[in-house]
Structures are given as structure tokens and as C-alpha cells.
Structure 1
Amino acid sequence: MNEASPAPRADAPVVVFDFDHTLYDGDSFSHALRWMLKRNPLRAAGSIVASLVLGPMVAWLPTRRHGISGYVWIATLGLHRRRGFDALLDRYVIEHEGEIRARLLPRALEVFGGHRANGDEVVVATGAPPELARAILAFVAHQDVPVIGTAVGPRFGAMMATRHCHHAEKLRMLRERGYGDIAAAYSDSTADLPLLQAARKPVVVNPGIKRVELFRRLLPPGTPILNWGCAKRGGEGNPLSSDVGAT
């Protein structure tokens, strides 16, 4: 365990962090998936053709999991074991260490580490596979933090998402792991509104600029809406954003 981060206190408040656009600038699994597809010209060509169907599925919440699973299936055709998939993710992280490190958000990691140093029960809940988030957090000595993410398993000769850690399902997965009383939650996404609304202290970070008003409307008055370093996103603290007066 990171020596700077004591074990959570017995009565520690639970603090949940999303990963993509919260601790990491971008969509970590999309970056990994793009690399997987580009490894083979046939996979890349197949994904382009399949995007006619899979693209709209990913964009629509009720079919999002199926759309992502389609891309994962193309990228992993011939892979039959979860450990092989995890090894592929680890290889991606190792080969792209510099790029990934540059995407980790210093301000986010400062807040994240502050909660850990305070003895809070910190959990990462992400739509990415948990192995990917753990491997990235290892760069900053936070690999021991519990990670709840999208479950992936063998299906039809490849790997597919079997349970997507997204929207209300993310909250259910947290509760199944015993994280029912959430003191604080940090996320960029309206897909995490069930999580943010369940937390005693919701904090919106790096939201899409067009989503800021929705967060203001659906979350309690005074909810912080911050920018932790995503230049193209909204939130207080980003001088490039046209909407910086959230709190």
C-alpha cells in the first residue's frame, strides 16, 4: 500500500470517484480499444464497417452496453480467457505509459490522495474494465484502491462486456459491494446522476459545457461544478470555458 495513504478508518466515509474525465483526461477504454483494433488491419476495417450499426448503439443509453460489446468482440476475436484480456490491457498501459501519465489530472489526483490520506474509504467506479483503471492508477501508487468497473467475459469466440458499470447499474454494483452509504461522489457525467444524487455531497468535475445547466437543475443548490484540467470542458476554474460561474 502507498505509505502516504493509511488504511481507511473503521468508521470512514465512503468517497466514490468516476475515472474517465474525472481522474483521467479522456475515455481510457476507448483509447485502449482503438489500439486493440489497430493492431490488425482486418480488425480495423471490420470496426469501420460495423460502426454503421454499433456507433448509434453506443450513443443511445439503452443499447450502449451492446454497442461497446460489439467493438470489444471485434478487437478480441480469438481471445477466450479473461486473463488474456487483462494481459492485453496491461500491455497497452505499459506501451503507452508516457501518454497515459500525461492524461492523469494533477488536481484530481491531489483531491483523490487527500481523501486517502484522511483515512476515507475511497472507491473508483468506472465504465472501463477494472484492470485498466488499476493498471493506470499503479503509475501514481494508488493500485490498492478498490475498483468497480465493467465486467468482461468470453462470448462467441471473443470477449464481450457482460455487465456495464454505467448509470443506475453503477450504483447497484457499488451497493452489492457494500458501499451503500456514500458520503461524497465525484463525476463528470450525467450518466452518473444516480450516483451523484445518492451521495450526501455530490461534486461535478469536468462536465461537458452543454451539461452544466442540467447538473444545476437536478442536483442540490450549491453543488460544486469544477474543472480539474480538461481544457475543452466546463466547470469553475477553466478560463477557456464560457460557463465558469457554477459555484
Structure 2
Amino acid sequence: MFTGAMIDAPAQAGSDADASRTVLFDFDGVLFQGDAFEQFIRHRYASSPVYKALALLTMPWWLLCGVFSRRRAAWALSHVALCGLGVQRYQAIAEDFADQIVRRPRQFYRDGLSALRRHVAEGDEVIVVTGCERILVTRLLTQLGLPELTIVATQLKPGVFGMRLHSHNVGRRKVQNLAAKGVTNWRMAYTDSFQDMPMLKPAGEAVLVNGTPKLCKRVEKALGRAVTRVAWY
């Protein structure tokens, strides 16, 4: 699965020719209840006092990152939790964690998975576009019986001290990474976040999952049109 200096994205997605059948799904908050990669990092800290000690030793670094953004601080702590992991070891640990949490009750939105499977059964080109790390989300979807989906996700790469962030697939980066695969138009997009506005704007139908009235109003104002609202459990 790993064939180079970084964790490569999967090949081939849909094309503009079949844009009318292309449907995008976010993962965290749409199919998965919570943040899967954050749960993985928390698991890393909970399972070893060594990483807790490293987090304390590196506190000045990640606190400094937090001055600029909470996201940078979170990734700094993630890098600490991934310290010492090479590509193959990371893959084994991430997949083992995925195998554990896929069996947890109420960890996934059943309604979301049903909707995704329905799109697949109808012949739509379904693409999961997520900020979750690619190996982790790929394993989770495979264990759910969805191994053939195209996945556009965050990528890691090996560094001197362990695995490091290569490309965080969030916001505008999602649209850019889709365009790199030749996907620039899609019929529907499912998300739970305003951060996915770049993905919602080109969609023929924008779908907000479990959106609060405030979020729905904010998204509709930014889009200049109504969104479809769904409540998934």
C-alpha cells in the first residue's frame, strides 16, 4: 500500500464526463461519529506513558504552535504521538486501531452509510473527501464492506523522527485535490461543516448532516440558495 516517500493517494477517480453521477461524502461527522484520527491520536497517548512524557517535554513547541492556530497545535501533538513510527509500522498500528473501533456500537451514522450504499447501488460515482488520514479511513471503510470507494484524504509522509503531515485535506485543499484527479463538477455533496463551503458551492445539491439552525442559515447565506437538511443517526 505504501510505495514511496509519502503515503500516496489512490489512483483514478471520476471525471467531468460523469459529473451528473458524482457524489461527495465527508467522513467525520457524516459517516463517522466524531473525529477518527483524533481518536487514534488519543489512543496513542492513552496506551503509552512514553508519549505522554514526550508531550510534556515538547510543550513549549506545541504551545507556540497554538499561538498561531489550534490546528497547528493539534498537528504538533499528533507528530509527537507518531514519533518513532516508520511507514510500515504506522500502517499496522493505524489499521489495528481501525479494526478495533469499527466494532464499537454507535460509532458510525447508520443513516449515512445507508445513503452512501444507496448511491453506490444506483450507479453513482461516490467519492469520500475527508480530512481524516487516508490509511485510517480506508481501513475503516474496507471493514464496513466498502473497499472500492475512491478516497481523497489527508496524507502523511515519513520524517526524521516519525510520520509527519504531508497534505491536510481540508477546506479549499479538498477541491484542489479533487481537481488533481480530474474531478471539478459533482451533483451532490454531503458535509456537516461550514469549512466545506468550497466543496458545497459547485454541488448541484448541498446536503448538511445534523446541522444546527445557525449553521444551516450561515451556509445558505454563503451559498445564496437553500440546502438539503438531514438528521442522521
TM-score bracket for the superposition, by shorter chain length? 0.7 to 0.9
Query: Whose relative contact order is higher, 1 or 2, with alpha carbons under 8 Å and at least 6 apart?
Result: 2
Change (3 A) 1:210 1:86: farther
Which residue in 2 is equivalent to 1:88? 93
* Equivalent residue for 2:82, pick from 73, 76, 79: 76
**Equivalent-residue separation in structure 2 for 1:186 and 1:157 (angstroms):** 36
Question: In the aligned structure 2, how far is the partner of 1:160 from the partner of 1:45?
Answer: 19
* CA 29–169 in structure 1, closer or farther in 2 if over 3 Å, else same: same
Q: Any unmatched runs of 5+ in structure 1?
A: 1-7, 230-247
Query: Which residue is 2:23 aligned to?
Result: 15
In structure 1, C-alpha distance between the alignment counterparts of 2:230 and 2:34, rounded to whole Å? 16
Match of 2:63 among 48, 52, 57: 52
Name the CA distance, whole Å, in 1 between partners of 2:229 and 2:54: 40
Question: Aligned residues, how many?
Answer: 215
Q: How far apart are 1:208 and its partner, in Å?
A: 5.1
Q: 1:133 to 1:208 in 2, by over 3 A?
A: farther
Measured in 1, the distance between the counterparts of 2:37 and 2:212 equals 19
Residue 103 (structure 2) pairs with residue 105 (structure 1):
no
Matching of residues 146-161 of structure 1 within 5 Å: 146-161=150-165
Question: 1:174 and 2:178 equivalent?
Answer: yes
> What is residue 188 of structure 1 aligned with on the other side?
192
| Residue segments in structure 2 that go unaligned for 5+ positions in a row | 1-13
Q: TM-score under structure 2 normalisation? A: 0.83
Paired residue type of 1:84: R
Give, in whole Å, the separation in 2 of the partners of 1:159 and 1:221. Answer: 42
AA matched with 1:86 = Q
Using the size of structure 1 for normalisation, the TM-score is 0.79
Number of the residue aligned with 2:5: none
Offset of residue 57 of structure 1: 5.0
Deviations, residues 181-203 of structure 1 (Å, cap 9, x unaligned): 11111001111100001212111
Quote the residue 2:206 is aligned against: 202
Q: State the partner residue of 1:116.
A: 120
Contact 1:14 1:184 in 2 (8 A): yes
**Which has the larger displacement, 168-177 or 68-77?**
68-77
Residue 103 of structure 2 aligns with an amino acid whose one-letter code is: G
- Distance in 1 (CA, whole Å) between partners of 2:215 and 2:135 is 29
